[in-house]
Amino acid sequence: MTTRRQQQVGEYLREEISQIVQRDLNDPRLGIVSITRVDMSPDLRYARAHVSVLGTDEEFGNALKALRGASGFIRHQLRPRMRLRHIPELTFESDRSMQYADTMTQVLNELHDEPPAAETDESSEDKPERE
């Protein structure tokens, strides 16, 4: 069960990590990266950041490697921004929910754009009339 404090620290970390990734990291492997959520351990010493990347699977893997490599730098940048005794150790995991949502949207749009099956006169002739 997640406590209110874990949720608050996780949300604050998500915002700060997002800002650091967008402003301070200049790694060309990072494309369009979103930190979707951060889960905290009960003692607030470990944080698991869920990352979504817009692009191919190769770009996704490269961005995840870049973030994992930059986790020390990100922790260093977090120190002056956070009022915690211990800055959490960061791990980055993939979150493909955005890609799944995009796929579902495309499927629904395709279904919406298909014309409905029109009834032909032949199908009405085959059916007996009810009185």
The secondary structure of 76-124 as a DSSP string is HHHTTT---SSPPEEEEEE--HHHHHHHHHHHHHHHHHSPPPPPPHHHH
Would residue 102 count as lying in a domain? yes
Give residue 50's pLDDT. Answer: 96
Task: For residue 117, tell me if it sits in a domain.
Answer: no
Instruction: Report pLDDT for 11.
Output: 96
Q: Is residue 130 part of a domain?
A: no
* Confidence (pLDDT) at 13: 96
Query: What is the pLDDT at residue 63?
Result: 93
Q: Domain tally for the chain?
A: 1
Burial label for 35, CB within 10 Å (0-12, 13-18, 19+), is: buried
> Whole-model pTM?
0.74
In contact, 42 and 26? CB cutoff 8 Å? no
User: Is 122 within a domain?
Assistant: no
What is the domain range of residue 51?
A: 4-112
Is 119 inside a domain boundary?
Answer: no
CA distance 126 to 62: 60
pLDDT in tens, the chain (131 residues): 789 999 999 999 999 999 999 999 998 898 889 999 999 999 999 999 999 988 888 999 999 999 999 999 999 999 999 988 999 999 999 988 777 878 888 889 988 887 766 555 555 555 555 55
CATH number for the domain harbouring residue 56: 3.30.300.20
Query: Does residue 123 lie in a domain region?
Result: no
Residue with the two structure tokens 């298909």:
114
User: Distances in Å between the alpha carbon of 42 and those of 30, 39, 45, 79?
Assistant: 30, 10, 8, 20
